Every structure is written in structure tokens, then in C-alpha cells.
Amino acid sequence: MKRHVLIFGLVGGLLVATLQYTQYRFIVIEHSVELYGALVAILFATFGIWLGLRITRRRETIVVKEVLVPAPEPGGGPASAFLPDTARQQRLGITARELEILSLVARGLSNREIATELFVSENTVKTHCSRAFAKLGAARRTQAVRRGKELGLLP
Amino acid sequence: MKRHVLIFGLVGGLLVATLQYTQYRFIVIEHSVELYGALVAILFATFGIWLGLRITRRRETIVVKEVLVPAPEPGGGPASAFLPDTARQQRLGITARELEILSLVARGLSNREIATELFVSENTVKTHCSRAFAKLGAARRTQAVRRGKELGLLP
DNA sequence: CGCAAAATCATCCGAAAGGGTGACGACACC
DNA sequence: GGTGTCGTCACCCTTTCGGATGATTTTGCG
């Protein structure tokens, strides 16, 4: 968490320094102060939104209520939302995060895309993947997806 | 979480203070522009964070899920054999061989395993894969499998 | 608070996958 | 015979994956 602030400081400082350095040469002459301010505003607003999104990432409480329902007819219902087999997931020791990444793997995303989607580094995604694969007894992501579907962990 | 915002604010304030302090020594004349930029930056960074917090505020989703227990197999249906959508296959120009390789990919096999299974070289498998991926608009095998299932080409 | 689990990130390295190109033979069709 | 498609295979190159390992941070819980 401190790292974000650090990044912010660095980026901000660099930005300001750059602006200070360049403004007298390129910007101020032909552009107004308002434009300069707008540029800074947009940049910092974007960064702030990113930071806000990042630090409030997913704090979700899942309460699973197991209810036995008689024979759902496949293809009948209104695309009945998929419900992962939490029991099996726990038995395999698969964490929620790992399952989340697994579902993105099943959607055909690359590690990099998953990393971007979840605001984490590619290395983290790889770690989660490796662990999930190990728990599923899979050597490849295609195999992991297949296993996940077989076990009712993925739709 | 408030802590981060606090730290951020402190760092931001420090940044402004530093800027103000330094600018007084070197850029006294144009200091109003610097101050203006810094203020705008801080303001909009704060605004961005606030916005980020706002739009992801209700991340604390309490999900109550009802686990549907799949119907006990009545033993009646003879596991209705899957029939690929030949029409769509032809429309996409996917050959039978490519679909065959694709199904093995979907089973989680590696190219080498597929090559062994089909008594062809690994290069051949890769060629078929590439062509099939191109026709499916997929960049990865996981994506290809997903597309194949969506299009009714794979079970 | 202190501990354990989980999440995050990094680095190294080898293997697998994917893209591109070119080539060759078989086979069908006109 | 010429043409086109399909299957087969090879080479080169880049990207991606996966495994192993270690470290740090965050978080939930007793």
C-alpha cells in the first residue's frame, strides 16, 4: 500500500519537474496557463481514479446458502446463474482468488490480460495459476479449465 | 482504507510544500503558475480518488447463493451424443482435421500429445492449430476452445 | 497483539505455444 | 494438363506458460 503512495510521489514529482522544465520552452509560449492546468488536472484525476479503484478493490463477502432444488432441467430455465461447487473448492484448498483467476483463464485471457483486468502484476497471476493448476492436477491451462468444468468449479 | 487516503494527503501536502519551498528559491517570478498547477493537481487527484471510491463503493457484496443440486440422472437419456454444427464449421472454413485437433486441444492435450495421438509430427499439429485459431479468431488455445464451444463446434 | 493464511511481486529458466514462410505430395475438379 | 484444396512437415523467431523459489504485504482470527 505504501508503494502506491511512493509511486504517486515519484510520478507526481517527475511530472511536475517535467512540466517545470518544459513549460518555459514549449508550453507557456503558445498555450495558456489554463491549458497547462487542464493537462495537470486530467493526469492527476486519471491517476487518482486509478488509485481509488486499486485500493478499494473487491472486498466481497460471499455467503453460500446451499439449497437442494429438484432437478433443474438443462436448457429450460432463464440461463440459471452458475453456482460454483464451494464444497469441492474448499476440499481442494482452492482460494477464491485462485478460482477467480481460473475463471478468467477459462474465458481465454492471457496472463497479461488477467493482470490488467485485476490490477495486479503478471507474476501474481502466474503464481495463482500455478497453485490452482497444482490443486487441480493440471499441467496446462486448457487442462485446468477442463478439470474446473468437470468439478463444477467453472460454468 | 482511510489510512491510505490520509497518507496520500500528507504526501500530497508535503509535495506542495516542497514545491512551494523550492520554487521560492529558483522560480520566484513565475511561482503563481507552479502553485496553480500544484493546487490543481492535488485537487483533481483528490477528486479522482473520491470518484474511484464512489464508483466502486459497494464492493462489499454479500452474495447469498443457492446451490442447485443437479438432477439425479434418471438413467433414461443415453447421454445424447454431441453433434457439431457442421453448417457453421463449413461457413468458417474449418476442415475436419482442424476440428479434430481442436477437440483434442479442448481435452487439455499439449501439441506433442496430440501429435502422438494422431501419429503426425508436432509441427503439423501446430499448423492445424494456427489455422483453426485464425478461423476462430482466437489468439490462444483457451480462447479457441471457448469459441469452439460457443459456436457449437465442440461439446 | 501475534500468528497463519492469503495475496502480492520478483527473478531465473526451460518448455510450450504461436506466427510466418516455404515446400511437397495426394486428390478432386474442370 | 492446370488449378485448388488439404494434409503433411520443416525452419526460424518471438511470445507466453509453467515451475521453483524467496520475499513482502495484507488480512482474518484467536
- Residue A69 pLDDT: 45
Mean per-residue pLDDT, A48-74: 52
- Residue B68 pLDDT: 44
Answer whether A49's CB lies under 8 Å from B49's CB.
yes
Give yes or no for residue B150 having a pLDDT over 50.
Answer: yes
Chain A nearest CA to B8, separation (Å): 6
Using a CB-CB cut-off of 8 Å, the residues of chain A touching B148 are: none
Nearest to B69 among A23, A69, A138 (CB): A69
C19 C1' to A118 CA distance, Å:
28
Mean per-residue pLDDT, A72-97: 72
Answer whether B109's CB lies under 8 Å from B115's CB.
no
Assign A68 a pLDDT band (cuts: 50, 70, 90): very low
Listed residue (A101, A44, A85) closest to B52, CA to CA: A44
Instruction: Report the 3 state secondary structure along chain A.
Output: CHHHHHHHHHHHHHHHHHHHHHHHHHHHHHCCHHHHHHHHHHHHHHHHHHHHHHHCCCCCEEEEECCCCCCCCCCCCCCCCCCCCHHHHHHHCCCHHHHHHHHHHHCCCCHHHHHHHHCCCHHHHHHHHHHHHHHHCCCCHHHHHHHHHHCCCCC
A interface test, pick of B3, B8, B27, B146 with most A CB neighbours within 10 Å? B8
The pLDDT mean for chain A works out to 73
Give yes or no for residue B4 having a pLDDT over 60.
Answer: no
- Residue A86 pLDDT: 83
Chain A nearest CA to B88, separation (Å): 21
Between CA B63 and CA B71 the distance in angstroms is 24
Return the residue of A nearest to B60 by Cα.
Answer: A60
Residue type, B23: Q
Higher pLDDT, A94 or A51: A94
- Residue A66 pLDDT: 47
Mean per-residue pLDDT, B102-117: 95
Mean per-residue pLDDT, B109-119: 95
Mean per-residue pLDDT, B1-11: 48
Listed residue (A52, A107, A7, A142) closest to B111, CA to CA: A142
Percent of all residues in chain A with a pLDDT value above 90, rounded to a whole number: 36
Using a CB-CB cut-off of 8 Å, the residues of chain A touching B67 are: 64-67, 83, 85-86
User: Which protein residues have any CB–strand D distance under 7 A?
Assistant: A 1-3, 59, 110-112, 126-127, 129-130, 133-134, 139-141, 144; B 93, 95-98, 118, 120-124, 126-128, 140
Per the structure block, which three cell numbers stand in for B38? 500544484
The pLDDT mean for chain B works out to 72
Between CA B125 and CA B141 the distance in angstroms is 12
From start to end of chain B, where are the E strands? 62-66
Assign B131 a pLDDT band (cuts: 50, 70, 90): very high
Residues A133-155: b if buried by 16+ CB within 10 A, e if exposed: bebbebebbbbbbbbbeebbbbe
Tens digits of per-residue pLDDT, B29-86?
555 556 666 666 666 666 666 665 555 544 444 444 444 444 444 554 555 667 777 8
Give yes or no for residue B6 having a pLDDT over 60.
Answer: no
Nucleotide in closest CA–C1' contact with A121? C9
Give yes or no for residue B3 having a pLDDT over 50.
Answer: no
- The CATH fold assigned to A86-150 is Arc Repressor Mutant, subunit A (1.10.10)
Mean per-residue pLDDT, B131-143: 95
Mean per-residue pLDDT, A89-94: 89
Q: Does A79 touch chain B (CB under 8 A)?
A: no
- Residue A121 pLDDT: 94
- Record: contact A44-B40, CB cut-off 8 A: yes
- Residue B67 pLDDT: 43
Mean per-residue pLDDT, B124-149: 95
Between CA B123 and CA B112 the distance in angstroms is 9
Query: Which of A89-93, A124-128, B149-153 has the largest mean confidence?
Result: A124-128
Domain boundaries, chain A: 2-56, 86-150
